[in-house]
Amino acid sequence: MRYGWGVLVGLGLVLGTGRVFAETGAVELRGTTEGSAVSGSAMLIDSPQGLEVTVEVMGVAPGKHAIHIHQYGACDDQGNAAGGHFNPDGAPHGFLPSDGLSKAHPGDMGNLDVGQDGIGLLAIRLAGVRLSGGAYSVGGRAIVLHEKVDDFGQPTGNAGGRIGCGVIVIGE
Ligand SMILES: [Cu+2]
């Protein structure tokens, strides 16, 4: 123990902090019905400013489609196994980047705009949300892509059925 515990603790803090801020997650998004053309993926990165999420989908009907993080990491039963929106505080439904955690659910990502080619991209930052740790952690939960637009009505945006779904897997 030539350098003593202080160095060990310091090194632990550096490594620990680095791990937390660099934590990443991945999602493989699949259609929820047999023969569905829907597919896609998402990348999630914890940053000091919040969770950075990028989503890419293919094979989706052109137009706006609601996209949210739902409570459970399961996609069976046409996506219904994912349960309702992840909503630990019982907050109203909204759009997290503009409404914040007191007036939106942690995974209220609004809409993903899909072009005539069936491809849609979304890049969004969810302030206050993390992959793991704390009340607003979303690792192990599911990202759900909906049939319809999120009109931000209560309780979940009138977004209709669940056409795509995938579980957020940490560390891939
Ligand atoms: Cu939803």
Q: What are 83-102's pLDDT values in tens digits?
A: 999 999 999 999 999 999 99
Supply the pLDDT for residue 1: 47
Q: 64 CA distance to ligand 1 centroid (A)?
A: 13
Read off the pLDDT band of 33 (50, 70, 90): very high
pLDDT of residue 59: 98
Do you find a cis peptide bond into 155, omega within 30 degrees of 0?
yes
Domain residue spans in the chain?
A: 23-170
Q: What is the pLDDT of residues 123-146, one digit of tens each?
A: 999 999 999 999 999 999 999 999
**Helix (H) / strand (E) containing 1:** none
- Give the environment of ion ligand 1: residues with CB less than 5 A: 68, 144
42: Cβ contacts below 8 Å, ≥ 6 apart: 26, 27, 29, 53, 54, 55, 56, 143, 166, 168
Residue 169 Cα to ligand 1 middle (Å): 18
Judging by beta carbons within 10 Å of its beta carbon (0-12, 13-18, 19+), is residue 67 exposed, middle or buried?
buried
Q: Which of 86, 38, 42, 76 is nearest to 58 (CA)?
A: 38
The CATH code belonging to domain 23-170 is 2.60.40.200
Mean residue pLDDT of the chain comes to 91
CA of 95 to the centre of ligand 1 (A): 12
137: number of CA atoms within 13 Å, CB side? 13
* pTM for this predicted structure: 0.87
